Structure 1
């Protein structure tokens, strides 16, 4: 078997196991596949393979990635994928060791998440009520934006919501997140209103489809595409259209900046990190701690405003 064929076997078997045993999301599997394919190509170019590569080889690959100017986060992700592949290979008996296990990652640059002001979010929400060719499009766009800002959902979680989760005028929404983990998030009054209005339109559209002998969608935001629901890419385009319409700088607006805005605005208004961790679906509170800059600013303002020694003397 050639090295290329052997590499394909390793990667495909590893990805299948990730999906079956850990419930790895499609996007996670695609990221693993891209990273491992790059490492595979690097090895093949040097007449090496997964089963013969040493720790020095893996470190040489990471040095090469650094020389290409790849970001620390990208190199850390690639090392993580390589470590997991070799751990799987060890467990399967394909190798007697894990050559990457003791390699330290490059770390990550601590960057504050890009976010939006409350005024900018309000402008985007207003635009969602105006952008769309038909009334049903505008109802859908409003529902998408209100749910995203009210819950802090990841874009994949949002566009793939099953319609069953919206039945019965819910005050809480059940979200299935990374690793197939479920969490409950409360809905704001505007989000509940937008959801009810869109669901009424959805039911009318689906009833027309049923009467024509077409299948009824199980998704809240259905699409004719192969996935059956609105795609991440289409929603990304939509949110840029809303930015242009609302005069918010389009480069600032992505589905993820709305998620950051959700967390940032909660912190600014007194929420604690543990609660935000639960709402965002972070497995580790360390991930949520990127928002502590907001908390620190609020605490500093609190001290400067209320501490007697911080007040100017008359």
Structure 2
């Protein structure tokens, strides 16, 4: 019965919420972890008690798992039992009483504008490059230009098809999380880099902009990570600071720093909730402070003097 309920839950996520394979795999691991804990007490996911679930949470805390990991697993279990409740497979939701730790807010890591420029320049081809090196650099440059100018997720980038760039396309229709579609503009440097890659791959019979070793499939995330690491090494950037998501964070951070509207940024990034986008507003603190110091009549007065000559309103 347990396997049947888990399968039904995963099928619901895939059908109704358009959950990606990676998301389904994560939910499966979380359910398996909880199920293994319950089995030690003679219970199952289908019959779990509130007390057994609380002990599972306590065990995770004792094992010093990251707060974010614990919060994610509890969220998964809550959704699972809510599904069983709605389907009539249980009369209660034992996970509704679980206390999840606050995952905390981690500020996104990003590169400086100079570092991004150095990274893109490091992907330039040289006359002495071998055909294989030339192709890797062209692929890397096209990917870097797209990631930094659009803020795409890596899954969205690798899912791009060649026919999306026909007739000098100026906009891309991207399908993001939950199957939500959004339009993102293409910068001229990105279009030029993509055109160079398409010309290089002209003989490849592939649907994908970034084909892998087998043209029938796009390059894998691991394959792209190796290309990105190679270009990062050429640019002198620590590999630990470089990833496709860091480039997405860099795009968002730099856009806000140059005055982009938060709602526009939300649409470009494909965030369902603007609170997710608001994490990038940390970059505005220094700018706001500088504006106040430069333009406020009391902005440059020493501490303690700011109240002098100030008249109270009647």
TM-score between the two structures when normalised by the length of structure 1:
0.90
Q: Bigger CA drift: 53-62 or 222-231? A: 222-231
Maintained 8 Å contact 1:75/1:106:
yes
Q: Bigger CA drift: 144-153 or 89-98? A: 89-98
* TM alignment of 1:69-218, pairs within 5 A: 69-130=64-125, 133-202=132-201, 204-206=202-204, 216-218=205-207
Structure 2 vs 1, CA of residues 227 and 303 (structure 1 numbering), >3 Å: closer, same or farther? farther
Larger Rg: 2
Q: Which has the higher helix share?
A: 1
User: Could you give the per-residue CA deviations for residues 77-111 of structure 1, whole angstroms, max 9, x where no partner exists?
Assistant: 10111011111111222211111123332112222
Partner of 2:309: none
Q: Bigger CA drift: 99-108 or 186-195? A: 99-108
Maintained 8 Å contact 2:60/2:70:
yes
Aligned mates of 1:227, 1:104 — CA distance in 2: 46
Maintained 8 Å contact 1:177/1:281:
yes
Aligned mates of 1:284, 1:40 — CA distance in 2: 32
TM-score between the two structures when normalised by the length of structure 2:
0.90
CA RMSD between the two structures: 1.8
Maintained 8 Å contact 2:2/2:45:
yes
Unaligned runs of 5+ in 1: 1-5, 207-215
The count of residues paired between Structure 1 and Structure 2 equals 298
Maintained 8 Å contact 1:7/1:40:
no
User: Could you give the per-residue CA deviations for residues 184-238 of structure 1, whole angstroms, max 9, x where no partner exists?
Assistant: 1112221111122222223x223xxxxxxxxx32211112459811111111222
Unaligned runs of 5+ in 2: 303-314
Maintained 8 Å contact 1:151/1:186:
yes
Q: Does 1:259 align with 2:242?
A: no
The residue matched to 1:97 in structure 2 has which SS?
A: coil
Q: 1:276 aligns with which of 265, 269, 285?
A: 265
* TM alignment of 1:17-36, pairs within 5 A: 17-36=12-31
The residue matched to 2:184 in structure 1 has which SS?
A: strand
Runs of 4+ in structure 1 off by over 6 angstroms are none
Partner of 1:7: 2
Measured after TM superposition, the shift of residue 137 of structure 1 is 2.6
Maintained 8 Å contact 1:169/1:196:
no
